[in-house]
Amino acid sequence: MVVLIMLFASLNVSVFLQVITRYVTQSPLPWTEEASRFCFIWIVLWGASICVKRQRHFAVDLLPSTLSPRTKWIILILINLLVMAFAIVLIVHGWRFFKIGLIRMSPTGYLRMAWAYSAIPTSGIFMVIYNLEAFAQLFRGPQTIVTVKEEPLGA
């Protein structure tokens, strides 16, 4: 979480510098747009893995709230299998992007694209780990399902 906070702060600083140098000096710093893009990629993908850890990924919970605990348990297993499949796709294809990124340079030419592309398989690995934890809890049985208490927006 600390890493995400630092990335978010870096994103804000680089965007701020981009705006200031663009409108005040009429000569924007070339690296700021790229740094903010790389930070954004890492924030989104690591944030997605944290959502998997907290079981806060996208879900429609209209139907499961009316089902029996056993049926709810089965649906949660299916959802976690789909999330696991997606995470494996991220790892496999992210690794391919990473290998391409070892050769390619970023548009400003200061960094290899592997720095940005490595966020994809890294996020997939964390998703798999967090999903295995969720499976461990689910396979203790339907009685261990903890319902997530909804929090109001802005809380």
Q: Is residue 75 part of a domain?
A: yes
Residue 95 near residue 124, CB atoms below 8 Å: no
Q: Is residue 85 part of a domain?
A: yes
Of 138 and 120, the one with more pLDDT? 120
Dihedral sign, Cα of residue 154, residue 127, residue 4, residue 103 = negative
Q: Is residue 11 part of a domain?
A: yes
Instruction: Give the separation between CA 101 and CA 111, rounded to whole angstroms.
Output: 10
Neighbour tally for 39: CB within 10 Å: 23
pLDDT for the residue numbered 30: 85
Residue 151 has pLDDT above 80, yes or no: no
Dihedral sign, Cα of residue 117, residue 118, residue 122, residue 124 = positive
Instruction: Kindly indicate the confidence band of residue 68, based on its pLDDT and cuts at 50, 70 and 90.
Output: confident
Count of domains observed in the chain: 1
3-state helix, strand, coil in the chain (%, to 5): 70, 0, 30
pLDDT for the residue numbered 131: 93
Instruction: Kindly indicate the confidence band of residue 111, based on its pLDDT and cuts at 50, 70 and 90.
Output: confident
Own/partner long-range contacts of 135-141 (Cβ < 8 Å, ≥24 apart)? 135/77, 135/80, 135/84, 138/73, 138/76, 138/77, 138/80, 141/73
pLDDT for the residue numbered 76: 85
Q: Is residue 151 part of a domain?
A: no
Q: Is residue 109 part of a domain?
A: yes
Instruction: Give the separation between CA 135 and CA 87, rounded to whole angstroms.
Output: 14
Q: Is residue 40 part of a domain?
A: yes
Q: Is residue 99 part of a domain?
A: yes
Q: Is residue 150 part of a domain?
A: no
Q: What percent of the chain has pLDDT over 90?
A: 52
Q: Which of the 8 DSSP states describes residue 109?
A: S
Residue 38 has pLDDT above 80, yes or no: yes
pLDDT for the residue numbered 101: 94
Q: Span 60-74, mean pLDDT?
A: 76
Per-residue model confidence as pLDDT tens digits over 83-105: 999 999 999 999 999 999 999 99
Please state the pTM of the whole predicted model: 0.80
Task: Give me the domain span that covers residue 39.
Answer: 2-144
Residue 118 near residue 97, CB atoms below 8 Å: no
